[in-house]
Structures are given as structure tokens and as C-alpha cells.
Amino acid sequence: NGGGNPFRNALATLADRDELSMMAHSLPFSHVVAVLGRNIHIELHATLLYHALLLNPSFRDALCRPVLPLLEAIYMHTLSPPRLYTLLAVLLHLSENPLVVQTLHQAQDHQTWYQERYLCDLSAASVGVLVLCRVLKANLSVLHDSLVQSMAMALLWNVIQFAKNLHPTATQSLVKLLAHAAKKEQLLRPSPDEAAAYLATARDLLLCIQLGCTPRLLPANAQLMYSLLHASDVLNGLAMHPSEALRDDIAMVLGTVAYCRAMVDQGDDEGDGDDDGRMHDLTMEQVLERIQGGCKALAHSETVRHTTDLAWSADKMVLSSG
């Protein structure tokens, strides 16, 4: 019990000098955030930030800037579970604040630290999707850590809660991870215990994608639909999965994708698409324009099921059951 710890008490009662300049026990939170953000890769700074978030709820209001440094640190320490726990926990606490997540979807930037590809003009949320998908894939293949899995998936859910114009690289990463989980689960299906983690991941990813298909988010997520159209084989394979629960999870996604495909093919006598999701005779801009129109129309219909808004916290980190 840390109730008598003076350092914890001081951290819990610390006021923001930016807002309350006359308070004696205060610091400018903007400066604290700037310093911690620059050094978040140092374990002490990450731990201090975690405890500040945990003990001082008002501290969260100043915290948007550390997110990209946090994502970079998570990227660097993906295969180092002790460090990864703290970094994911900090980001999870931040993502419980809707204002923080909404800001992530608005800011555009370029990142030089992501080695797999050059990231230019991506929102912080799109970078987050990329990094979290990378963590989830590494966890499935190497770490096999249930806590990492739960926190990363909960973070992905919180980010998708306010998904807006995700970058194509981010939506492709999401769909590729789904394809990877589906393929591995099928290969391991004769050994249910080994296949279980991949099945759970596929279901959780489908729930995140399903969230992006809800009326509130659909008009701003044409790029997600475009990526799903290109993954028709994966989706059709999952539609035939022996698990009834998974088939239920994918039903709404399949309906939304089918509607968008119909909008793309509409008015073309010879057909612009094929079973592989490639639209031959249209430019990408034309396809996206038609998908966008379909998303807006579908968002106003009653055929898309609503999903209740819910930010996942450290206390509720399992998205699917069974």
C-alpha cells in the first residue's frame, strides 16, 4: 500500500502551473510532457509517466505529444517484454481519453524511425495501427505473451474507435495481420491449443474492422473498405470457418464489403472487378470515389448494426470470448 508514500502523494496532488499559476505545489505540465516525451525510451521516464497517469488523472489532459515517442519506443522494444509492458500500459491509459485519440487522427507527420518503409503524411493514429499490428504479429510468432496481446489489442480497439481517414499503409497492415492470423490458424487447426491464439486474434481483428464499418465511422473509412475489397479471398475463407462465432463476427463486414463492391461495379456492363478484388478498368481514385459514395449511403441505412462506443482500459482487456 503506497498511501503513506510521500512521493506518490506528491505526484497525485501535483497541479498544472499552466492552468493554476498560483499553486505552490505545481509544475507546468506542458514542460513535463515535453521532457518525458523526448526521453520516453529511458525506462525511468516511462515508469514516471505511467505513475503520473495512474495517480493524477488531470495529468492526462496535457498528454498528446508523448504518443509518437511512445510509439517509437514500442517499435524499438517490441521484443523486450518488461519494457514493452510499461510502454503499452502508458499508451493504453492515454488512449482512454477520447480527446487524445481524436487528436491522433488529426495530426499529420512523417517518421524516419520506422525501418520497414518511409512514413510520410500519416496521422499518429495510422502510425499507431502500424506499430500495434507489428507488435501483435511479433507476439503471435515470438513472445506468446497474453498480457502483450491483450494490451496491444485493447489499444488497437481504442484507436479504431475514432478512425478517420486512416492511411492506406495502416489499413493494409490491419488486413494483412488478419490474413496472417487466418492462414496460421488454418495450418494449426489440427492442434487446437496451438491454433487458439491465432483464432482469438482473427476474431478480435474482425471486431475492430467491424467497428470501422459502423455508421458513425464508415463515411471516413473508404480506404479501409478499399483494403478489404482487395482481401476478398481472406474474407471469403473466414466466412467458411468451422467456428460459428467467427462466422457471426465476419457477417457484418462481408455485408458492408459486398455493398461497396456493388457500388464499384455499378453501371459497368463488362464489370470492373473480379473475385480477387481487383478493379481493372477504374483508377484507384475512381474506385475510392465510388466506395466513398457507398459508405455514405450505407451509413444512413438501417442495414448496418451499431456498436456501442467503449474505450478499453487496463481493467477490461479481453475483446472476444470463447
What are the residue ranges spanned by the domains of the chain?
Answer: 8-126, 163-268+284-305
What residue type is 225 in one-letter code?
Answer: M
pLDDT band at 47 (very low <50, low <70, confident <90, very high): confident
Judged by phi (left if over 0) then psi (alpha if -120 to 50, else beta), residue 120 lies in beta
Q: Which residues pair with 175 in a beta bridge?
A: none
- What's the mean pLDDT when you consider all of the chain? 85
Question: Which has the higher per-residue pLDDT, 89 or 303?
Answer: 89
Contact 59, 29 (CB under 8 A): yes
pLDDT, residue 18, reads 79
Instruction: Tell the residue number behind the cell numbers 490491419, with chain if given.
Output: 174
Please count the CA atoms within 13 angstroms of the CA of 134 that sit on its side-chain side. Answer: 22
Concatenating the DSSP letter of every residue in 249-261 gives HHHHHHHHHHHHH
pLDDT band at 281 (very low <50, low <70, confident <90, very high): confident
pLDDT, residue 172, reads 96
Output the CA–CA distances (angstroms, integers) from residue 137 to 77, 80, 142, 143, in the order listed: 14, 14, 8, 9
